[in-house]
Every structure is written in structure tokens, then in C-alpha cells.
Amino acid sequence: MMLKKAAISLTILLTAVLAINAQPLNSRIGLTPLKVEKAILQNQKNHSSIQPYRLNETSFIKDESQILMDLAFNPSWFSKKGNNGKSIFIQPYIEGLSFAGVSGVKTSAAAGIDISGTLHKKLAFGFAYYRQFENDLPYLKGAHLRGFSPGLSSTQSTSGDLYQFNFLQAYVSYSPNNHFNFELGNGKQFIGEGYRSMLLSDNANNSPYFKLSTNFWNISYTNIWAFHQTIYAPYDVNSMLVKDDYLGKYTASHYLDWNITKRFSIGLFETVVWQTDDSLYHRGFDVNYANPLLFYRPVEFSIGSPDNVLVGLNTKFRLFDHQYFYGQLLLDEFLLKEVRADVAEAISPDTSRDSGWWANKFGIQVGWKGYWELAGGDFRSRVEYNLIRPYTYAHSGATQSYTNFGQSLAHTNGSNLNEWIAQLSYAKNRITIEGSFFYLRQGKSKDGLNYGDDLNVTNVTHFQTYNNRMLQGELLDSKTISVDMAYRLKESSNLEVTVGYWGRSSNFQIDNMISFGLRTMLNRRSREL
């Protein structure tokens, strides 16, 4: 009975039903149960910055481990557990939501299925697919104009402002022992402790990938090789765009995470982006980046290729029980003398000094999050600040920007921005409440000039060499508030009724809407774009 009550309290369940040893938990805010999220953070042996989480990484949790095991077999429409580690789970995906606001009445509907299981104690698989139809909701207008739905696939306009798209996620995961895991699939990853990530986020569409995870002592080393698409089509012999044939690109990433003490951890990140084709030949997958132990920047120099290399740092510090400070630093390009010039200019302004070099490209994140037990439920709060310099993540070759099908692989809104985030989340029994506030200020390009906000534009067209400043261009000043309340009707199918509010004030333009409907929680979409 106690286990049953505890399982019910984990209101926001997993993206896909858990499978022993290898099934990932979804990393997005609100999808990992707060109780489990808190337990993962407090144990030195776990590497909380590498998401999605895995059941074999949470097995050390004494009270919650059995709950997780139960969740692996209970919250599915159909489940069957066999001998020798064999299991199968089937979960339907249903969504029917209505939105009413100043822009009128809008709808969103979807149907699909999620299948997962284990063929052996060391081998797991997962498959999720759904098709969605939605109106041009206020927070999606800009995205639909660019041909995609945030975090999902490219969109197709059916009639009027009605759009449709597909979602496909699949993987096969193998863990030969407690130290290694091999995973092949189509999905996304997340590195960090924040709501955003300066390094690698789940903002963009799913991509084919291969991941190698190595764990020993208090160290985790993760390698990810992935294939992405650009929004650019190649030219044929007649210099005509080839329809439905977008140029591809690869990324190779590695992340070393070290839990130095029970309170402090640090992670080192590096990634490289290269295109599959250029003006001379088909490059394909570059085997020079296949070695999981080499640094990418020296490799890039050795092969004489101007690929896009980024490096970063991730940290976490526990000050009190269940209170965490975290941060990230992302370095794209910079010159030390130019950074010194910016510092000198900040301390003592001098118009005769060259400062504000366009290629001083970096991103910074600082944040705090805390967990409490409140009124018999689990409560989490978060405050986060993000800053990204102009032209960060972009590249001289537009096809080598840090994007997938036009969507950033880091921050949702690109670069040349700063942002404040405040969040409150509460879960008790079958009830969940989530409230978020986003304050975004971003310099937008205008009049055909590139001020450094759009990652899909070559940075060769930068506005000027020097005197570049944060938020240059046309200032976007946006405040977004969202509240989402849900009650789970049926535990076995993860079906919940939801009521929510979304409001935005952007450059004195106000939009808001209320929402209500039914859904099964396989994923939750961002509404702050």
C-alpha cells in the first residue's frame, strides 16, 4: 500500500515507459517526477547534468528505486513481463486541447502510440510516434513561418492556419556491464542543470544519433555523434534548388563530468559541426572525429577544415540540503586581447579604443534551484539567468551553425539576448501545478542587417567588426507568464485533464489565452518561443 501511494505521488510521469537498465527518462521540465529528480541530485554517484536519465543510474535511490521499478510496469495501457528480462509496454498518446484568447479559439489534437520494452536485462528498445494537428497559436507564429514547430518536425500547412506534423522517437540501448552503455536512436539529449542549456539542449527536433556512455568511480564520459539537417537545399546542375533535399551536417560531442565532492561537480564539453557536402565534394561522416578521446580543435586544424567547434563548462554546487547553485560557460570564438579590450572599456570608457569585437562569442548561465516537501507534496523553485553574445553559435558557413533544421541546439531563441527565468512546480498525489515567468530581451536584426540573433545567417555578414554590443539591433522586450494545472484521471494510461493560462507582453503587444482539455503526458512543449 505504501509503495502504491508513493507511486501515485509521482504525477508527471516519464516520456516513455521505463525499461530495466536502459530506458531513458525525459529530461524536460515537469516530465521527470520531482521526487526522483531530487533524489538523483543528492547522490554523488549520479551525474545529474546528463539527460535523459536512466533507470540504472537511479538504482541507488533506496526509497524511490522500487517505485521506479513499479512505474516500469504499471503506467501503461498494456504491459507484460516475462522471464529472462523480457518485457513489453504499450501506451497510447492522446491530446485534445482548446485555447481561447484575444486571437480567437484555437485547437491542438494528436494521436499516436509509444512502445517500449526489454529483450534482455541488458538490451532495451523504445518507439514513439504521433501525428499532430494545431492552429497557429500565438507562441508558434514565428516558428510556423520558418517551417517548423518548436522541438518537433517541419510543419505542413493544410488549410488556413491549421498545421500538421509528425513526431518520431526510437532507440535501442545495450549495457554490457555497469560501466558502458551503447545507444542508437532518433531523439535528443540535454546537458546541464538549468531549464536552458548553453551546451546542448532538447530544444530542436529529434535527430539520428549514436551515444557511448562510460562510467567509472565518480566520473562519467559521454560521446554523442548525431546527424542533423539544415534549412538549405543544394543546387542542381541548372542552379535550381532541389526540393525536399536539404543539406545535412554532423555533430560530434563529448562531455566529461566529474563529481569532485558530495557538494561540487564540474563538467567539460566540446562539440564540432561539419557539413556533409561543400562546393567541391561529398564529405559525409568525417572519421577524424570518430575517435572518442581526441580533442576536436586540434583535429580541425590538422585536416585544414574550418568546422564549427564550441567548448563549454558546466558546474553544480550544493550549499544546503536540496539547494543547488549551477552555471555554464560556452565559448564559441574569442581572442584574449579582444576580451581584455572589452574589460578595459567597461572599466574606463574610451572612444579611441577598439572594443566590442564581433567574434567575442560566448554564453553564460547562472541559476539556483531548491526542493522542499510542502503540504504533503513535492515543491521545486528555480531562478535562472542566461546571457548570449551576438553571433554565438553561428558560423561563417550558414550550413554549419549549431542548429538542426533551423532550430538552435542550445537556447530556444538563438543569441544576442539575456533572459531571466523564475519557476515554481508542485506535485501531490494526482495533482500537479507549474508556474513560469520568462523575461527576455533580445536584439533583433532589421533592415537587412545582421545584428547577431539569427543562427541560420552566416556571420560573415556581421554588422560591424568593432563596437558590437549586447542587444544591438531592434530591441525585443518580452515577458511571458504560464500556469499549467493537471489532474491525472487514470493512472494506468497516464491520462490527465489540464487547465492552463498563457500570457505575453512583447514590445507593448499583449496576447493571452486559456487552455483546457485531455492529454496523456508523453512530452510537454515549450511556450516561450
Low-confidence ranges of the chain (pLDDT < 70): 1-33, 54-77, 139-148, 153-160, 233-245, 278-281, 294, 296-305, 491-493, 521-529
d(CA 14, CA 32): 6
Cis peptide before 176 (omega within 30 of 0): no
Q: Return d(Cα 119, Cα 124) in angstroms, integer.
A: 6
To the nearest 10°, report the CA torsion of 37, 503, 485, 98. -120
SS3 413: coil
- pTM of the shown model: 0.88
HSE (side-chain half, CA atoms, 13 Å) at 220: 24
**Is 427 within the bounds of a domain?**
yes
Q: Cα–Cα–Cα angle for 222, 149, 134, nearest 5°?
A: 135
Cell numbers for 422, please give them.
523564475
Residue 11 near residue 486, CB atoms below 8 Å: yes
Compute the distance between CA of residue 288 and CA of residue 276 in angstroms, rounded to an integer.
Answer: 14
Q: Which residue's entry shows cell 529483450?
A: 119
Q: Does any domain span residue 525?
A: no
C-alpha to C-alpha distance for 336 and 349, rounded to whole angstroms? 19
For residue 477, give Cα distances in angstroms to 150, 358, 502, 507: 20, 23, 17, 5
**DSSP code per residue over 478-519:** EEEEEEEEEEEEETTTTEEEEEEEEEEEETTEEEEEEEEEEE
Residues in the chain: 529
Do the beta carbons of residue 310 and residue 408 sit within 8 Å? no
Angle formed by the axes of helices 62-71 and 34-42, to 10°?
Answer: 140
Q: Where are the alpha helices (DSSP H) in 116-155?
A: 141-145
- Mapping DSSP to helix (H, G, I), strand (E, B) and coil, where does residue 286 land? coil
The pLDDT value recorded for residue 64 is 43
In whole angstroms, how far apart are CA 279 and each of 166, 232, 237, 283, 322? 32, 14, 12, 10, 53
Q: What φ, ψ does residue 402 adopt, rounded to 5°?
A: -80, 70
Contact by Cβ (8 Å): 269, 200: yes
* DSSP secondary structure letters along 287-319: GGG--TTS-HHHHHHHTT---EEEEEEEEEEEE
- The pLDDT of residue 296 is 64
Q: Which residues form the domain of 117?
A: 2-520
Q: Are strands 509-520 and 87-101 parallel, antiparallel or unpaired?
A: antiparallel
Which residues, listed in sequence order, are joined to residue 504 by a DSSP beta bridge?
480, 511
Q: Facing residues of 241 across strands? A: 235
| Residue 380 cell numbers, joined | 521545486
Query: Pairing relation of β-strands 264-275 and 87-101?
Result: unpaired
Task: State how far the Cα of 71 lies from the Cα of 76, in Å rounded to an integer.
Answer: 9
HSE (side-chain half, CA atoms, 13 Å) at 178: 9
Residue 186, beta-bridge partner list = 170, 208
Tell me the three cell numbers of residue 483. Answer: 500556469
Name the percent of the chain in helix, strand, coil, to the closest 5: 10, 50, 40
Give residue-wise pLDDT tens across range 285-343. 777 788 787 676 666 555 556 789 999 999 999 988 889 999 999 999 878 888 888 88
Structurally, the chain folds into a number of domains equal to 1
CATH of the domain at 397: 2.40.160.130
Instruction: Identify whether 526 is part of a domain.
Output: no
Q: What distance lies between CA 294 and its chain's CA centroid?
A: 25
Q: Which residues, at least 6 apart from 483, have a Cβ–Cβ distance to it below 8 Å?
A: 433, 434, 435, 436, 500, 501
- Among all chains, which residue has been given the C-alpha cell 542549456? 197
CB 273 within 8 A of CB 401: yes
